[in-house]
Structure 1
Amino acid sequence: MKIKAIITGASGMVGEGVLHECLLHPDVEEILIVGRRTAGYTHPRVKEIIHPDFFDLSPIKDQLKGYNACYFCLGASSIGMKEKDYHHVTYDLTMHMATILADQNPGMTFCYVSGAGTDSTEHGKMMWARVKGQTENDLMRLSFKAAYMFRPGFMKPTKGLKHVLKGYKFFTWMYPALKALFPSRVSTLREVGLAMINGTLKGYERPILEVKDIIKLAHNTA
């Protein structure tokens, strides 16, 4: 099986890291980056669509056909946001694109970057966790071949990439200690990317992937 993947958020740290692993992987034959601004990558296997309004993808809908994977790495911080606004840029935006993709590509595997601590009940105290929980739950109800909810914790950035968040740079040197002290909360960004690829190629036994699942799937070479 060869992967034709759509990647969102490639101008951010996680999306760029996933893109990097896709470019290195022999089973990823085509990549479509969809973003509001360019990710800055030129490669024979990469196409890019710059579309400023992710709340209305109808003008580019036909260009989203023919793909068997989506690695949805686009996201916004909830800091300083009211729940209504965060719900709009998280739930509404994600579901709009995912609904189109499920309709256009029924054989697609959809991987969504959520976060550790996401609230599947949708009724917890943390606003962002409730919204992410609702997003996860409704994504899993769409008609994808498979939908995987990724809940990473701290991710060690991939060396040499352009879009590493500033705060992560200060903590990278602590990764060995964090890994030893909190093995269920830390992974590498490389493992997140590889887990998405392996999830597309091989599947996984559960739809929600905590950090331990991400690491397990990343190293599944069977």
Structure 2
Amino acid sequence: MKVIVIGGSGLIGDGFLQESLLAADVREVIAVVRTQLDVAHPKLRQVVHRDFLDLTPIRAELAGADLCLWGLGVSSAGMSPADYERITYGYTEAAVRSLREINPDLTFVYVSGGGTDSSEQGRIRWARVKGRTENMVIAAFPNGYALRPGFVLPRHGVRSKTSAYRWATVAARPLVPVLRLLRVAPALVTDTVRLGRAGLNLARSGCARSVLENRDINETAGF
């Protein structure tokens, strides 16, 4: 497979990137980034691109891809509604538009989060915007999927860039072995390895559902 990873510098994107590089059936990984990542691997090619609202200049780099793993995202906290929608919906829509023209059979895996509002009618703005983005991805590709993780634990040594998330990760880490012993844990907790493997497995085998909640992600990852 040829895999595109967008958002590789963040928590989710790093999981996508690392698991794609480890996968035996992935021959090439294209990381679309604003600034060069401190990662080197024979399979990896980094494409530095500044304008995520227009991927036309890098279409040739994206051609032939089998899978796009979308890990780019921001917190709505402290961000204007217009900026949040531009990044969350606008960037994703621009990528979907370009990639659909290049390969309509591409598998596109978009990460939103638990609590996303697919009705687009709820009171919480971020949930509506994420829901609209999910719906757009799923409508655009026969193999379009939305992942809704709950609490995501970092692996491969990566740390979230969001300070509140970093503190929560440190606080929760002693509880993780206990949580994983509980039957309820798969519905609440996942990690970046599971997210990466789930995304790859969706390209390999597909899934009957288009929206995968936390438990579905863990099951699709093979855990």
TM-score for both structures, normalised by structure 1? 0.92
Task: For 1:151, give the aligned amino acid.
Answer: R
Q: In the alignment, which of 85, 88, 106 is matched to residue 86 of structure 2?
A: 88
Contact 1:36–1:50 (Cα < 8 Å) also in 2: yes
In the other structure, the counterpart of 1:174 is: 175
In the alignment, structure 1 segments of 5+ residues that lack a partner are none
Shift in Å, 1:93: 1.0
Contact 2:186–2:218 (Cα < 8 Å) also in 1: no
Q: In the alignment, which of 199, 214, 218 is matched to residue 217 of structure 2?
A: 214
What SS class does the counterpart of residue 28 from structure 2 fall into?
Answer: strand
Map Cα deviations across residues 33-86 of structure 1 (whole Å, 9 max, x no partner).
Answer: 001112211111000101111112221122211101000000111001232221
Runs of at least 4 residues off by over 3 Å: 161-165
Partner Cα separation in structure 1 for residue 177 and residue 161 of structure 2 = 19
Alpha carbons of 1:163 and 1:99: their partners in 2 closer, same or farther (altered >3 Å)?
same
In the other structure, the counterpart of 1:76 is: 74
Alpha carbons of 1:96 and 1:174: their partners in 2 closer, same or farther (altered >3 Å)?
same
In the alignment, structure 2 segments of 5+ residues that lack a partner are none
Partner Cα separation in structure 1 for residue 32 and residue 207 of structure 2 = 26
Partner Cα separation in structure 2 for residue 184 and residue 162 of structure 1 = 22
Q: In the alignment, which of 201, 204, 222 is matched to residue 204 of structure 2?
A: 201
Contact 2:30–2:46 (Cα < 8 Å) also in 1: yes
Q: In the alignment, which of 94, 111, 114 is matched to residue 113 of structure 1?
A: 111
Task: Report the RMSD for the aligned CA atoms in angstroms.
Answer: 1.7
Map Cα deviations across residues 106-132 of structure 1 (whole Å, 9 max, x no partner).
Answer: 221000011000001001111100000
Contact 1:8–1:72 (Cα < 8 Å) also in 2: yes
In the other structure, the counterpart of 1:146 is: 143
In the other structure, the counterpart of 1:37 is: 35
Partner Cα separation in structure 1 for residue 68 and residue 138 of structure 2 = 14
Q: In the alignment, which of 110, 122, 125 is matched to residue 124 of structure 1?
A: 122
Task: For 1:93, give the aligned amino acid.
Answer: Y
Q: In the alignment, which of 178, 187, 190 is matched to residue 187 of structure 1?
A: 190
In the other structure, the counterpart of 1:7 is: 5
Partner Cα separation in structure 1 for residue 171 and residue 19 of structure 2 = 23
Partner Cα separation in structure 1 for residue 93 and residue 177 of structure 2 = 37
What SS class does the counterpart of residue 28 from structure 1 fall into?
Answer: coil
Map Cα deviations across residues 1-57 of structure 1 (whole Å, 9 max, x no partner).
Answer: xx1100011111111111111111111111000011122111110001011111122
Shift in Å, 1:173: 2.5
TM-score for both structures, normalised by structure 2? 0.91
Alpha carbons of 1:50 and 1:135: their partners in 2 closer, same or farther (altered >3 Å)?
same
What SS class does the counterpart of residue 130 from structure 1 fall into?
Answer: helix
Task: For 1:155, give the aligned amino acid.
Answer: V
What SS class does the counterpart of residue 183 from structure 1 fall into?
Answer: helix
Partner Cα separation in structure 2 for residue 110 and residue 145 of structure 1 = 9
Partner Cα separation in structure 2 for residue 108 and residue 71 of structure 1 = 11
Identity %: 39
Contact 2:92–2:133 (Cα < 8 Å) also in 1: yes
Contact 2:34–2:49 (Cα < 8 Å) also in 1: yes
What SS class does the counterpart of residue 6 from structure 1 fall into?
Answer: strand
Task: For 1:219, give the aligned amino acid.
Answer: G
Contact 2:111–2:148 (Cα < 8 Å) also in 1: yes
Shift in Å, 1:196: 0.5
Alpha carbons of 1:169 and 1:159: their partners in 2 closer, same or farther (altered >3 Å)?
farther
Partner Cα separation in structure 1 for residue 39 and residue 33 of structure 2 = 12
